[in-house]
Structure 1
């Protein structure tokens, strides 16, 4: 079994879980060759395979490519550029061209493909979003969403056995809030907590679907373990209840020294009225995140619950507190220093 993106946050945890289940796991690595679990421990008992998914034949010679293809029964395609920024050539190279090249590898070896997509390929759609749907015509918040949408289309149109996992926005584990990679929405959480952006446009009805990394990776490992049953299906690995935006200020306000933003209606928000420093932060990235704060998608996971017999643990206030506590302990969030009295 080959796991792409094995040095990444999801990929490393998936490799560890599959190795624990007794699978022979090969992790595809490129520049970063350290494959680690979410707790930072090195994954043991797996083979490392050098390659670059953005290149044809993974950038290796024909003999090595053929030998790899011949011994594969399943590829877990976890590699992706997850940056929540405008679409870039790097997004397209990794998420679209990379998926196309992995499909070619699966086809060459007659292997199955477990593709890790995202629930947010729904873009700006709202209301109930079903697991099997792949509607077109929606707008996208960032290059991650748009290129992952195109990648999923490639998988569905390919002539290889496939299953698709669509996680929501992945944060720290459930028990401790631990993460070894502060990605996805962590940067905007940091900006809020450190008081760099104090005003944010948002709708009162807006929510984010946030899930613990252990729930997502255990779900992917189960899909890999039961690939013949999962084949042809798409599953949402999402929360049991989306997180309302008020969780940001309500949670941050409980910690001494942390700030929390004021959410205002998009109609009344004026970037020009912000202080210069805050305006720069908004222009450099906060504006991209703001697009998430005007939507309320409801991701249905009925198929996943039937398949697995389980659902996400409560993504409630206590979990949010653990996430912030861990970010503080890891010094990802650093409260501003208080000025001493003259």
Structure 2
């Protein structure tokens, strides 16, 4: 296959991609920073690969010139998955990792004469709604948070570079399709926990709003396919998305199927008044739920026809059965805990 460097290899997505690329026959080098432990989504360690400790926010990843030269001479492919994914306002860390880090990855790609598969996000579309094509890359939209804004700027750097590139844009990554299993409860899991445990009982949301939620196994297999068939993917952008966005009603409908879990009441954003919430609920809303509320007002429809034509198939059903597996796994893992009996006042 080739010799590949995977940035963010100790992360959730990076760990699973690392394991799958090793299984596919790649000679893998995992770039790690503070956490050297590379694990797949089922928490199994990825063994039999080389690792390099470095920091993509620094020039030469903080390596010596000799180490940098040695690394560049040993790779012919890079999967850039390292990113700060926090759904907060833009921070220095967002900029350092997502933007400056991508600049440094591009420097290594050029020096090595390597090919680059850049992991972006479908949500570089920002606050746009309606059909969003894989071929589109607008610059007039607003952004919901620092993650979207800095990933947009990172993708722009890649597209304008003179290296050989392809771009994967996943939706919001959750647990695997067969079991709902995840090694890391991030992205929308925290708001799911807040809803399920009854900390926030009222949430502003538009009736038409959706989220594009996608299983991690589907996304990682797509990344491996793009790397293995890079000549076909080169210069293209593929949406690794559900193809069928999840309506927000899936939250209450799914949570209420489980004894002991709560579910929020959706209210029109125009009539929502945070001051009307009880003090404890208001604190939880301001500390966490408010960050996600902006996602609950729009309905982007990410087109994935180009990727389906490339792969020969699309995402498996992200339906109510998958959602039940997602919640069941979060309960079994102890991430979500029941706070009251179903039907209690």
Q: TM-score category by the smaller chain?
A: over 0.9
- Asked whether the equivalents of residues 5 and 28 of structure 2 are also in contact (C-alpha less than 8 Å), the reply is yes
Distance 1:285 1:137 in 2: 28
Task: Look up the SS of the partner of 1:2 in the other structure.
Answer: strand
**Deviations 1:196-219 (Å, cap 9, x if unpaired)?**
000000111000000000000000
| 1:18 alignment partner in structure 2 | 21
| 2:253 alignment partner in structure 1 | 250
| Pair 1:63 & 2:66 matched | yes
| 1:39 alignment partner in structure 2 | 42
| Pair 1:279 & 2:282 matched | yes
Distance 1:43 1:288 in 2: 34
Kindly tell me the number of residue pairs found equivalent between the two proteins. Answer: 338
- Asked whether the equivalents of residues 126 and 142 of structure 2 are also in contact (C-alpha less than 8 Å), the reply is yes
| Pair 1:136 & 2:148 matched | no
Distance 2:150 2:278 in 1: 34
| 1:194 alignment partner in structure 2 | 197
Show structure 1 runs of 4+ deviating over 4 A: none
| Gaps in structure 1 of 5+ consecutive residues | none
| Pair 1:313 & 2:316 matched | yes
Distance 1:219 1:45 in 2: 23
Distance 1:267 1:129 in 2: 26
| 1:262 alignment partner in structure 2 | 265
- Mean Cα deviation higher: 242-251 or 223-232: 223-232
- Asked whether the equivalents of residues 243 and 303 of structure 2 are also in contact (C-alpha less than 8 Å), the reply is no
Matches within 5 A, 1:322-341: 322-336=325-339
The one of 153, 157, 176 equivalent to 2:156 is 153
Cα drift, residue 240 of structure 1: 2.3
| 1:83 alignment partner in structure 2 | 86
| Pair 1:2 & 2:5 matched | yes
Cα drift, residue 335 of structure 1: 1.0
| Gaps in structure 2 of 5+ consecutive residues | none
Distance 2:153 2:218 in 1: 25
Task: Look up the SS of the partner of 2:79 in the other structure.
Answer: strand
Task: Look up the SS of the partner of 1:25 in the other structure.
Answer: strand
**Deviations 1:157-199 (Å, cap 9, x if unpaired)?**
1110000000000000000000000010000000000000000
Distance 2:125 2:306 in 1: 17
Cα drift, residue 45 of structure 1: 1.8
**Deviations 1:245-266 (Å, cap 9, x if unpaired)?**
0000000000011000000001
| Pair 1:168 & 2:171 matched | yes
| 1:179 alignment partner in structure 2 | 182
Distance 1:246 1:336 in 2: 21
Cα drift, residue 56 of structure 1: 0.4
Q: What is the aligned-residue RMSD (CA, Å)?
A: 0.7
Cα drift, residue 337 of structure 1: 5.7
Distance 2:35 2:195 in 1: 31
Distance 2:127 2:41 in 1: 30
| 1:299 alignment partner in structure 2 | 302
| 2:228 alignment partner in structure 1 | 225
Distance 1:326 1:158 in 2: 41
Give the TM-score normalised by the residue count of structure 2. Answer: 0.97
| 1:237 alignment partner in structure 2 | 240
| 1:206 alignment partner in structure 2 | 209
Give the TM-score normalised by the residue count of structure 1. Answer: 0.98
Distance 1:281 1:143 in 2: 21
Cα drift, residue 229 of structure 1: 1.3
| 1:108 alignment partner in structure 2 | 111
- Asked whether the equivalents of residues 85 and 285 of structure 1 are also in contact (C-alpha less than 8 Å), the reply is no
Cα drift, residue 46 of structure 1: 1.1
The one of 42, 54, 78 equivalent to 2:57 is 54
